[in-house]
Amino acid sequence: MSLRIVAVAAMDAAKLEAEVSPELGRVAPSRSLGSVDGLVALEWQVPGTEDEAARLRARLAEKGHPVDTAVLPASSGRKRLLISDMDSTIIGQECLDELADFAGLKAEVSAITERAMRGELDFEGALTTRVAMLKGLGLDALDHAYSERITLNPGAKTLVETMKADGAETVLVSGGFTYFTSRVAAAAGFHTHRGNTLIDDGTELTGEVGRPILGREAKLAALDEFAASGGIRREDVIAMGDGANDLAMIKASGLGVAYHAKPVVAAEAHAAIEHTDLRAALFFQGYEAKEFVS
């Protein structure tokens, strides 16, 4: 078996090679994937097993280079399905935390969010607790939260549009809420979206969430459902996220990407994005910069 290593960084190609090649036995890159807006990507091919891939990922992470890397089987290439988390992955915020700010409860709600994303709390319980705290919040807060607070992370639209142009299906799946997933999916260009539902009485939030709650296992089920409908194997899926509720779909996919993720997620992913932006997920699949669609 051989491995394919892709490294992406905001530096010139010579410096990137100097950062990574010593960790690979001073093997030269097999090809350049090009550069865009200061980001450079190089690819290496080296012998190795699946166990060695995991050790190599850990070793590269421990070195602390300002480089994002993926270590994959050499046969791993472009994926036919992108399934991604929303909060703190495709967007830079946690929608529930931003809503809580309009109720004067952001600090309290954010603390629960952080623990849930680290896997320290049951996701469903943490979600219902936080939503209950927002009982009585006017519905205009949702519009204000979206229009004033929510922004796409750099590279999100390019990632989605480039994969769509190559024929891939794109799905936004979130433990957040459909009010936001519908708008974020449209802004980033996703084909479809899924999320939880906030219950309201026509004027205010009731403090309740629609059932069943979409959590960790529901995200994995969505991966399998969309893959099956398109005749796509799990190996041909890229799954992305940052929190513990994303871990099942990340581990099940052919390319699981941890985006500025909690340690429990980063440890299990095939690749991590910490230093660049979401376009790195295209380089990880073998796309060249000249193929990117803005």
Per-residue pLDDT tens digits for 23-66:
888 899 999 999 999 999 999 999 988 777 878 878 887 777 89
The pTM assigned to this predicted structure is 0.95
Distance between CA atoms of residues 44 and 67, nearest Å: 14
Angle at the Cα of 99 (from 94 to 101), degrees rounded to 5? 100
Distance between CA atoms of residues 244 and 119, nearest Å: 5
Dihedral of alpha carbons 266, 272, 275, 277, sign: negative
Residues 139-171: pLDDT tens digits? 999 999 999 999 999 999 999 999 999 999 999
Per-residue model confidence (pLDDT) at position 62: 79
Per-residue model confidence (pLDDT) at position 14: 96
Which tokens in the block code for residue 278? 């979401």
Residues 197-242: pLDDT tens digits? 999 999 999 999 999 999 999 999 999 999 999 999 999 999 999 9
Q: Which residues are catalytic?
A: 85, 87
Measuring CA to CA, which residue among 64, 199, 218, 194 is closest to residue 132? 199
Question: Which DSSP string do the residues of 42-96 spell out, in sequence order?
Answer: EEEEEE--HHHHHHHHHHHHHTT-S-EEEEEETT----SEEEE--TTTTBSS-HH
